[in-house]
Structure 1
């Protein structure tokens, strides 16, 4: 996917007044995704990955991607359950109910180059993630 904006999508439903829903408000990847010059903004997921979700056995490569989103549980910007590579990207100002708000790595492998910015996410940028997200602090 190149030169694209994914905005104002959501996977939230309501059942007996409780929010429920899926993952990956902007994009849910279960296979292989290569993103270049993509903006993920103002997307919402009911579970994980308001901007983007990388599921089990998936590979996501993101070059010059910007993510500003929110989610109900955790991983407001990105939820990763497999392999994620970020190059010259921004994961900023994402919000989630539980930490982390920026990138939630759930047992996967994350590679982050030195030019990628992960900041201003609430309640934290990447903590707690297991294993930790490299080049991400707080």
Structure 2
């Protein structure tokens, strides 16, 4: 466990796909070493879209092969170098898309800080156990 932490941020363009159109949408991506297994997705300017917390591994796998089950699924587009993210909420379904290289670049920055398989070195297990007590 390390006492220092690192936060990475990126503002990434997405398309919000509906049956009738695709609207532009900016999403704030955040990677925080205090939660080293996760990537936070926060849509801007769309209060009806909640923030999402994705497994870093899920996003990584979803860039190149289908990944996820149930409420969250990622897969590469078969035609244009983009990644599709399907989200189910209690109020409906949303499909987002972005250029794969945008997500891959953000993941690479996170991997440079915390390589896959080393996430546990960033967790303060004593603090987490104390929070449960």
The normalised TM-score by structure 2 is: 0.21
Higher relative contact order (CA 8 A, sep 6+): 2
Name the structure where strand makes up a greater proportion of residues: 1
Structure number with larger C-alpha Rg: 2
